[in-house]
Amino acid sequence: MVEQYEVPDRPPAGGILVAAHVTIVSAGTEIANYLGQTTERPPERVSPYHPGYSFAGEVLAAGDDVERFHPGDRIAGPLGHAAHAIEDRPERLARFTHIPDGVSEREAALSQISCIALNGVRKAGIALGESVVVVGTGLVGLLAGRLAQLNGALPLIGLELIPQRRDAAKRFGMDLVLDPADETTYTIVESLDRGGADVVIEATGSPRAFVPGLAMARRGGRVVLLGSTRGHVEAFSPYDAAHRKGLTIVGAHVSTAPVVGTANDPWTEAANRRVVLSLMQQKRLDVAPLISHTIVPTQAGEAFAGLARAPEKYLGIAIDWTRA
C-alpha cells in the first residue's frame, strides 16, 4: 500500500529535502524482508515494512551548512521508495553523488545496486585474463559480471537456474551462460586453464549456492560472497571444501566499503558511485536492458507480490515517481 505522510517545506540544518524521480526494487533484499526471511526482519516485523534503497531524483531544498548540494541538483543514493524524503544523517548524506549530464534518473537509480556489485568485484581482486564465474544472474549478478569484464575477467561465465535470466545474461554479454542443474556444467568449469575458476562470485544470496560455488573454484582460488546469504549452509565441510584447496573466501557486503577513503583504499560508496555513473555516461555500462518493468507507486504492492510469487517474470523494476 502507499502511505500518506507530511513532509516539511524546509530540511533541518545539515540536511536536504529531495523529490524522487525513480527508485529501483531490489528483488533479493526487499523481497526477503517482505517475506520475513531475514534475521534482521523476522516475520513478526514484516508489517509495516518500508522498503527501498536505490534512489535518483532532485534536491528541492538544502538546509544550513549544506555546501555540496543545491536546489535543482540531480542526485543518486540510498533512499527508500517515497515521493519525497529528508536526509540529514551525515554518514548517509556522504553516500550521495551528483548525476552527470547524459545519464538519466532511470539509469542513475541503478547506481546503488551497481555499487554493491562493484564492491564485490573490487574485493575479488580480478587480474586481466582471470576466469570468473558469477553464480546467479539477477540484477546484482549481471552488474557484477559486466564490471568484472571491464576489470579484465576472461572468460566470464554465468550460472543461473531460471531460463529467462540465462537469456538476459547472454544478451548482457557474458561469454558463456550455464544451467547449474545440467550435469555437464561442472565439467565445463573444471576444464578451464587452471582446473576451475580463478574467481567465483556468489550473487544469489541462497545458502544452497555456497558449497557448489566452492567446488567450482580452482586450487588457490577466491570465492566472493556478494549476495546477502540468508539461512544456514548445510553439508559444509571447511576442511574438504576450502582448507585443502587453499581457497580465499571473501565477504563483500556493501557495508565493507570504507566510510572514509584512504591512500590504500579510496573506494568509498560515493567514490564507487561516481565510477559507475561515469561508466554509464561513457556508455561503457549500459544498464537500460536491466529494467524489465516500469510501474507507478500504486502498483508497487502488486509488483512485490508478483516478485515473491514468480521471480522469473521480472528482472529490474523501476518505480516512476513523476507519474504518482
Assess if residue 1 is contained within a domain: no
Assess if residue 81 is contained within a domain: yes
For residues 57 and 98, state if they share a domain.
yes
For residues 249 and 119, state if they share a domain.
yes
Lowest mean pLDDT among 35-39, 96-100, 318-322: 35-39
| Domain CATH number, residue 202 | 3.40.50.720
β-pair type (55-62, 16-25) = antiparallel
For residues 226 and 134, state if they share a domain.
yes
| Domain CATH number, residue 315 | 3.90.180.10
For residues 124 and 151, state if they share a domain.
yes
**pLDDT at residue 33 in the model:** 78
Total domains in the chain come to 2
Assess if residue 5 is contained within a domain: no
For residues 92 and 28, state if they share a domain.
yes
Average pLDDT, the chain: 93
| Ramachandran class of 220: left when φ > 0, alpha when ψ lies in -120 to 50, beta otherwise | left
Residue 293 structural domain: 16-110+287-323
For residues 38 and 151, state if they share a domain.
no
For residues 77 and 24, state if they share a domain.
yes
Assess if residue 262 is contained within a domain: no
Q: Which long-range contacts (CB under 8 A, 24 or more apart) does 300-303 make?
A: 300/2, 300/25, 300/81, 301/1, 303/25
Assess if residue 214 is contained within a domain: yes
**Percent of the chain residues topping a pLDDT of 90:** 81
Among 201, 235, 256, where does a domain finish? Answer: 256
For residues 141 and 78, state if they share a domain.
no
Assess if residue 139 is contained within a domain: yes
Assess if residue 2 is contained within a domain: no
Task: Indicate if the alpha-carbon torsion angle 225, 118, 204, 134 is positive or negative.
Answer: negative
User: Cell match 586450487: residue?
Assistant: 219
For residues 128 and 250, state if they share a domain.
yes
**pLDDT at residue 47 in the model:** 60
In this predicted model, what pLDDT tens digit does every residue of 246-286 receive, in sequence order? 999 999 999 999 999 999 999 999 999 999 999 999 999 99
Which distant-in-sequence residues (6+ apart) come within 8 Å of 102 by Cβ?
281
pLDDT at 41 over 60: no
For residues 48 and 128, state if they share a domain.
no
For residues 81 and 166, state if they share a domain.
no
Per the CB < 8 A criterion, the answer to whether 248 and 221 are in contact is yes
Residue whose C-alpha is closest to residue 117's, from 83, 92, 142: 142
For residues 63 and 149, state if they share a domain.
no
**pLDDT at residue 153 in the model:** 98
Assess if residue 124 is contained within a domain: yes
